Amino acid sequence: MSGHSKWSTIKRQKGTKDQKRGQLFTKLSFSITTAVREGGGVKDPNSNFRLRLAVEEARAANMPKENIARAIDKAGGKQDGDIEEIFYEGFGPGGFSVIVETLTDKTTRTVAEVKNVFEKNGGSLGVVGSVMYQFEKNGVITLSKNDKTLDEIFLIAADSGAEDVEESEGEIIVYTKSDNLAKTRMALSENGLQIKEAQLFWKPNIINTITNEEKAEVAMKFVEKLEELDDVIKVYVNFDIEEELMKKLLNE
């Protein structure tokens, strides 16, 4: 099985090319605050798994401890109004499917900004349910091989309920059902494996690989424009780009 985007792997290793540090921290703060609120106000990452994932993502981005603590504390306040998690669906230039995950305190602003990016870059914003059926909510864990073989890691992961394991760009990617993510993550950690990242994501059922350089560049720029919006947390697509072409476009 493959299905983990090499584009996503390379982007994570390099960092989003044009992402500003302040903008990134703002998005991570929103994710942490929302995780506390959606978790019934539980501010302990050990008792709120969604918060734990958000905090780990913030730490991986070198977000200062005081910023993380401030975002957690903010969840109990009302000064910023209610923050909503909203998903938008649509089609990118060339027809690939897109899910846009947002956190916003003003939905009219967010939908206008997202729609503008779609319409000005050859895409079209769809209705609820127009592409979501092409994706499945999964857990994904990225880890280092350390001194274990891929087969050894596969056995550990399988015993903890993981669905599949693959190697990509020197990393091991473990896939789980969304409700097994915490259990699998703990099992891998207890077996001495170094967890680089663990998160929930929308995995496409079918991936379309782009081999044309011009189409790949257009698709990348479209997604990057969505990611640059302040209210956008993550963008999921059902395309991938050939590894060598991806490296060429990123000037590696």
Question: Where are the chain's structural domains?
Answer: 18-74, 84-133+206-249, 136-204
Q: Which residues pair with 88 in a beta bridge?
A: 100
Q: What is the pLDDT of residues 73-112, one digit of tens each?
A: 877 654 445 778 899 999 999 999 999 999 888 899 999 9
- Longest CA–CA span in the chain (Å) reads 51
Going by C-beta distance under 8 Å and a sequence separation of 6 or more, which residues neighbour residue 180?
139, 160, 161, 162
Nearest in space to 188 (alpha carbons), one of 143, 146, 147, 149: 143
Who has greater pLDDT, 169 or 117?
117
Helix, strand and coil content of the chain, in percent to the nearest 5, comes to: 45, 25, 30
Residues 6+ apart with CB under 8 A from 252: 10
Cα gap 50→202, rounded to integer Å? 15
Q: Which of 3-12, 69-78, 139-148 has the lowest mean pLDDT?
A: 3-12
Q: Do domains 84-133+206-249 and 136-204 have the same CATH topology?
A: yes
Helix (H) or strand (E) holding 97: strand 97-104
d(CA 25, CA 61): 8
**Tell me, what amino acid is at 121?**
N
- Does domain 18-74 match CATH 3.30.420.40? no
Fold of 84-133+206-249: Alpha-Beta Plaits (3.30.70)
Question: In the prediction, which pLDDT does 128 show?
Answer: 93
At 6 the pLDDT is 52
pLDDT at 7 over 90: no
Please name the fold of domain 136-204.
Alpha-Beta Plaits (3.30.70)
pLDDT tens string 23-44? 778 888 888 888 888 888 888 8
Q: What is the pTM of this model?
A: 0.78
